[in-house]
Structure 1
Amino acid sequence: MSTSPERYTDRFERYADRHPRVVDAVLVLVVTACAIVGSGLTRPGAAPPQRDTTVLVVMGVSCLALFKHRSHPRTVTVVNAVCIVVVTALEYVLTPLLLAPVMAAMYWLTTHTGLRTARFYSVTTAAALMAASAVFDPTYASSPVPRSIGYCFWLLLPLAAGSMTRLRRAYLASVQARAEHAERTREEEARRRATEERMRIARELHDVVAHHLALANAQAGTASHFALTNPQQTKKILTSLTDTTSSALRELKATLGVLRHSSAPAAAPLEPSPGLARLPELVSACASAGLAVTVTTTGEFRPLTSGVDLTAFRIVQEALTNVTKHAAADSARVHLTYQESRLLITVTNDGPSGSTVAAAAPVRGFGIMGMRERAHTAGGELRAGPRPGGGFEVAASLPLPTATPEAPSEAADNPTGEKA
C-alpha cells in the first residue's frame, strides 16, 4: 500500500512537534556531515594542511549554532554568514555542501520570522560572499556572473522552502481554527436550543399546573361555601372540579410527552395543542370557580398558525388564572380584535381602587413574565398593569399570518358577548 508524500509530511511534522530536540539533533548532524565532506573539496594547492583544522572549527561553530535556531534565529543566521565568509577567505570552494549550514539557518529564519526578514539576511549574505570571493578567490574574476548567480540561487532556495512551510503551517492552523470554531458554534447552538426547550417546557408546565390548580382551589372553596346551603350547586361544582383535574392531567401528560424518547409503535399519540377554539371550555371552568367571563370578538375572523393560536390561548388562560388567584373581582372580560395583520387580546377585570397592591401581585411571579416571553417568541408584544380606575389589564398583540396558515383556528365559533 503506497503512502502519499503529504501523509509522510504530516507524520514528520507531528513527530517534530512532539520531539523537537531529537529532530534538531538529527538535522544538525546531517548538516555537519555535509560541511565535513564539503571542506575536503578545495582547489589544488589552495588548502595547506594547517588550514584543515581551522575550517573544521569554523564549520563546527556554524553547525553547533544551529541548535539555537528556535530562540535566536537572527543570531544563528549572522553566525553562519560570518563563518561562511571566513571559509571563503580561506579559499575553499563554496559548494552546496559547505553552504548547507547557512542554508539551514536561512530556512529556519524564514519559518520563524517571515520572508521579508529572511530576504534581507539572504541578500546581505550573498553580497558578503561575492565580496569575499572577489577579494580572496583569484578564479572569481574569470566568471563572476555565474558564480554570483550560483550564490544567490543556493541562498534563495531555503527562502522558498521556508515560505512554503510557513504557508502550510498557516493553512493548517486556519483549518484547525475553523474546525474548532465550528465545533464551538455547534455546541453553543445545541446549548441554546436546549435552553429554549427547557424554557418552553417550563412555561407550559407553569401554565398548565398554575391554571388548573388555581381553578381547582377556587372550585373547592366555592363547593365548601355551598355545601350546606345548596347541595345541588355543590354537586355541580364538584363535578366541574373532577373535569378540571382530569384536564390538568391530560395537558400535563401531553407536555411531559416531549421529554420521552420512546420509539414504541404502540405509544399513544399526544393530544393536540390547545387554541382559541377551547375558550368556551376555559370560560366554563372559570364560571365553576365563581368567575364570570365575558368574551367578545370584533373584526373579521382570521385563521391563526398553531404557534400563535397556542400563544393566544395561553395568554388568556394565564390572565384569567391571575384574576382568579389575585384580583378581588368576580368577573372578567376577554376581548379579541382581528386587524389586518395583528390579533389584539385584552383581558380586564374590575376591582376597587384600593386593591392596587393585590392586583399588581402577579408581577412578582412567573405568570406575566411567561406571557411576555410567549408573546415575544411569537413575534408580538404584551403589556400588563393596574388600570387607573381599579382592577388589572393584560393586553397582547400577536401577528397574523400573511400566507397559508399551518393550522386554522376555530376561534370564530367562540361565543360573542356570552357571560358565564
Structure 2
Amino acid sequence: MPFVVPRAPDLPAATWTSYGLTTLLVLPLTVRRRAPVAVLFAVLAAGALYKFAVDGPGQPLPYTGLVAFYTVAELSSPPKRLVVALVTAVGVLGSTGIDSADMRELLFSLFVFAAAYACGRLAVTRKAYLRAVEDRARQLELTHRIEAEQAAARERARIAREMHDILSHAVSLMIVQAEAGPVAVRTAPDRAEAAFDAISDTGRDAMVQLRRMLGVLRENEDPAGAPRAPQPALAGLPGLVERVRGSGLAVSYEVAGSPLPPGPAVETSVYRMAQEALTNVVRHADADAVRVRLEHGPGELTLTVTDDGRGPAAGTGLGLAGIRERAGAHGGTARTGPGPGGRGFEVRVTIPRAVADTEAGVGR
C-alpha cells in the first residue's frame, strides 16, 4: 500500500530501490516447486536486505516467506524440512529481537510459520488421499470390466449349452422318427402317422424354444412384446420322457423322496441334463430301454439316466461336458460311465440340497 496510496509528507517516499527489492520478494516464487529450499532462503535474504539496507516505507508482511515455507513443507524430504524449520525459527527469533523484542510478535510469527508448515503437510496428505481414491476407482473400474467380461463369457457359454441341448435333442428325435417312418408306412400306417406327428411336435417345440432364446438375444427387442414363457422345469420331465418314448425307445420315469422345489435355475439345469442324457441315448447308445430316476434326498438332489445300450461313441463328449458344466455351476458333480454290472451307460448327477435350497430361497 505505501507504493499505491500517498504517504504522509513527514514520512520517506517510496523509491525505485524499494520497488525493486519488493519485486525480489515475489519473483522467486515462480520456481518454488523446482527448488523450494533455495527459494525460501532467497526470499528471506531479500526481506532482510529490504529491512536493513533500504528500510523502505512501511513494514513488509511475510507473505512470500510463508508461501515458500509452505512449499518446503509440502515438497521436501524430512531431513530438509527439519533443517529448514530450525533455520527459519532462528531467523524469526533474530528478526523479532532486532525489530521489537515483543513476545506477542514473536509468538505470532512462530504461529503463522507453524500454520504454513501444517498446511503444507496437510496438502501432502490430501494429495495422497486423492491418489488413493483415484487408484481405488481405477481398480473398481477394472474389476467391473473384468466381471462384465466374465459374465458375458458365462452367458455365451450358457446360451451355447442351451442351443446345443435344444437342437441336439430335437434333431435327434426327428431323425429317429424320420428314419422309422418309411418302414412304418409299409408295415404299420398308424405307427407311421404317429411318427410324423412326433416329428411335427418336436419341431414346433424346438422352434418355440429357439424363438424365445433368440428373442432375448435380439437387439432393440420391444420388452412389451418379448416372450415370457418360463424356462423348462422338473414338471416338464414327464413330457420330455413321453416325447422320447415316441421315438420307439422304452423309457421309464420315477421320482423318489419328498419333492422340494430346488429353485428355477436348478430345475432348468436338471431338465437340460436329463434332456442331453436322453439325446445321447437316442443318438449313440443303440439302446432298447432307458430309465430316468429323480431322487429328492435329505442332503442332495440326484438325477440318474441309465440305458442298456453300448454307451456314447467316440467324439460325442460335448454333451457330456455340458452336463458336467451345468452340475458344477450348482456345486454338484456328474459321473458318467458303465451302468450297473458294467452293462449300458449311466449318467448320475448330484446337486447338494444346501445349494438347491439357497437358490430356491428356502430359509430366507
With the length of structure 1 as denominator, give the TM-score of the two structures: 0.68
Alpha-carbon shift at residue 212 of structure 1 (Å) = 0.5
Matched residue type, 2:35:
H
2:322 to 370, 374, 385: 370
Alpha-carbon shift at residue 314 of structure 1 (Å) = 1.0
Q: Which runs of 5+ in 1 are unaligned?
A: 1-32, 408-420
Cα deviations by residue, 1:41-61 (Å, 9 ceiling, x for unpaired): xxx99xxx9xx85x7766655
Structure 2 CA distance for aligned equivalents of residues 112 and 94 of structure 1: 34
Structure 1 CA distance for aligned equivalents of residues 58 and 186 of structure 2: 119
Change (3 A) 1:385 1:359: farther
Change (3 A) 1:194 1:224: same
Higher RCO structure, 1 or 2 (CA under 8 Å, sep 6+): 1
Aligned pair 1:245/2:195, yes or no? no
Q: 1:333–1:349: 8 Å Cα contact kept in structure 2?
A: yes
1:396 to 326, 342, 349: 349
Structure 1 CA distance for aligned equivalents of residues 38 and 288 of structure 2: 91
Matched residue type, 1:299:
G
Q: How many residues align?
A: 351
Matched residue SS, 1:334: strand
Q: Give the equivalent residue in structure 2 for 1:344.
A: 302
The Cα RMSD (Å) is 4.1
Matched residue type, 1:286:
V
Q: 2:262–2:359: 8 Å Cα contact kept in structure 1?
A: no
Q: After the TM superposition, which residues 138-217 of structure 1 pair with which residues of structure 2 at under 5 Å, given as runs?
A: 143=101, 145-170=103-128, 173=131, 187=145, 190-217=148-175
Change (3 A) 1:64 1:376: same
Q: Give the equivalent residue in structure 2 for 1:77.
A: 40
Q: 1:110–1:163: 8 Å Cα contact kept in structure 2?
A: yes
Matched residue SS, 2:316: helix
Change (3 A) 1:176 1:94: farther
Change (3 A) 1:96 1:295: farther
Q: 1:118–1:159: 8 Å Cα contact kept in structure 2?
A: no
Q: Give the equivalent residue in structure 2 for 1:262.
A: 222
2:315 to 335, 338, 361: 361
Aligned pair 1:335/2:287, yes or no? no
Q: Give the equivalent residue in structure 2 for 1:384.
A: 336
Cα deviations by residue, 1:129-169 (Å, 9 ceiling, x for unpaired): 434666xx4x55xx263453243234234224434544555
Cα deviations by residue, 1:158-197 (Å, 9 ceiling, x for unpaired): 2244345445555555555555555555555555544444
Matched residue SS, 1:105: helix
Structure 1 CA distance for aligned equivalents of residues 209 and 31 of structure 2: 73
Q: 1:375–1:398: 8 Å Cα contact kept in structure 2?
A: yes
Structure 2 CA distance for aligned equivalents of residues 330 and 195 of structure 1: 39
Q: 1:337–1:345: 8 Å Cα contact kept in structure 2?
A: yes
Matched residue type, 2:315:
A
Q: Give the equivalent residue in structure 1 for 2:235.
A: 277
Q: 1:219–1:241: 8 Å Cα contact kept in structure 2?
A: yes
Aligned pair 1:297/2:249, yes or no? no
Alpha-carbon shift at residue 105 of structure 1 (Å) = 1.0
Cα deviations by residue, 1:271-315 (Å, 9 ceiling, x for unpaired): 332223333322232233343323233333334433222221111
Cα deviations by residue, 1:348-391 (Å, 9 ceiling, x for unpaired): 23345xx7xx545332x2x2233223223334332334568354
Change (3 A) 1:159 1:281: same
Q: Which runs of 5+ in 2 are unaligned?
A: none
Q: Give the equivalent residue in structure 1 for 2:30.
A: 67
